[in-house]
Structure 1
Amino acid sequence: MSENQERKRVARERLQQERARDKAREKRRRTLIVASAVVGVLGLAAVVGLIAANSGKEDGGATEAGPLLAPSGVQGEEQVAIPVGATDAPSTLTVWEDFRCPACAQFENALRDTIHELEQAGQIKIEYHLATIIDGNMGGSGSLRAANAAACAQDAGKFAPYHDVLYMNQPPEPEDAFADNGRLIELAGKVEGLDTPAFRSCVEEGKHDGWVKKSNDAFQAGGFRGTPTVMLNGESIFPTKGKEQISVANFKKWVKEANENKPPGSERPAAQGADGSASPEASAS
């Protein structure tokens, strides 16, 4: 091979390597809106998007996760579903979320009251799954730290109200304020009976970090497009073109149609209490 050909080969390889690095960097930092739906609440429209999951090899910030210690009461084949509501409810709402995901907060803040209303009436049960894709896309550890804290709240039978508090107090995405365990413990003070030595120790030690990583791995393996991923009885509530748009009225209608001639659920795990811990005695501020 001539010297000129060798220089050309080296130049081509260098260009390919640079392009590969640029592509990897772009994957790590991108946060894309890949779909949207209009949610009507009290006459106001909130735009909800799906934050695209990182499709690279990053595991969402949980690379240093410790031993796999699942929170109490988790369910499902992979043991990564946190259940809320009557176990015999006729319909199941499956939710995949990331506590740093702004689109997840938009969804929660728009549909929260409706979901709680239907859950408390025994019409639906919710299976929450936690992901850490924002950590993987943007860097930081707030998704992991918040998910671990939520798992600690599950141990205390307070997952649902603490979950709501986190979304009502979600920081701007670039700030990664949930990476601070002190902030997560401070927010626990908004849920009656949650801020205990056991909860603090669980948060500070990252007791459930390994389980959070397992949950995020399940999200990545599931082929979901992004967060929030929300399914009613296995069917996405974010419609494809030509289908009804999500709204409070439509969501209630879909549940009513799914539950036709089916009795409401009434059996609840003891840890949830009579109200399923679904009505947080917490401030929204």
Structure 2
Amino acid sequence: MRLGFELWLYRDVTSRSVFPNRRYAAGAVCKSTARLDGKTVLITGANTGIGKETALDLAVRGARVIMACRNVEKGEEAAASIRAAYSEAKVEVRELDLADTCSIRAFAQKFLREVNHLHILINNAGVMMCPYTKTVDGFEMHIGVNHLGHFLLTYLLIGLLRRSAPARVLVVSSLAHNFGWIRFHDLHSQGSYNSGLAYCQSKLANVLFARELARRLKGTNVTVNSVHPGTVNSDLTRHSTLMMILFTVFSVFLKTPLEGAQTSVYCAVAEELHSVSGKHFSDCAPAFVAPQGRSEETASKLWDVSCELLGIDWD
């Protein structure tokens, strides 16, 4: 069964450029033509950027795509643009605020009542270099949204994923994990705060979470992998004026959201990855993981600390 012609044409045209540097920056393209008919996908932060492009790709493959968004209005606009690009898209929007554990629990409760299967969970949403703020529950915003919010969401949906197996969990991380350290003595940056370092810590937490969850789910037919989408020109830099200027000036060297979504799509659909778990991918291929991201001791400790902060018991 072939990939929808509309998406193939869209990807082919947008990946071409008269600039050699632009072609290099675009990175790899997911070449899998796998269909997802009858499959259900949940993507957080799907109203913009790589989340939206991932939602479009998977919808064209026949999946029912549930777009979990903090801003429902923007989510509905994104869903409408996806339907405009592909009239047969089965996309729906649900409210989810990863900075509020009550919102996460309410979302999961309603989701479990209304959705019978979940085959692919893509923990995509995130914040980057925002001013020092705390979530509703008092967590520093980067670690609270990028890690703890997705940790809790996955915990609440893991039973459904296991019952729907074979299933896949993807955690969107970043090359920035190389520069991160888990500051257990000051996880919420109350002693000192640097927005860049807080972001790097949260991206390292993503890698460690994916590896530890993969270890704990071994033999369940639910795989877990993390993804570095590349340096993508998106609104993720909206909290940093300097980053916005740099991204604008050097945009020709950056990936578009469509290009940045390719590794997420690859890890979600590639047949050859059906049993691959606990790995990190970039440009549709296995990627380097920093030593601190390979530490089993750190991963286990982060798991325990996360459970304690969230008030859950996840053995």
Fold match (TM-score > 0.5): no
Q: Which has the higher contact order (CA 8 A, sep 6+)?
A: 1
Q: Give the TM-score normalised by structure 2.
A: 0.26
Q: Identify the structure with the greater helix proportion.
A: 2
| Bigger radius of gyration among the two | 1
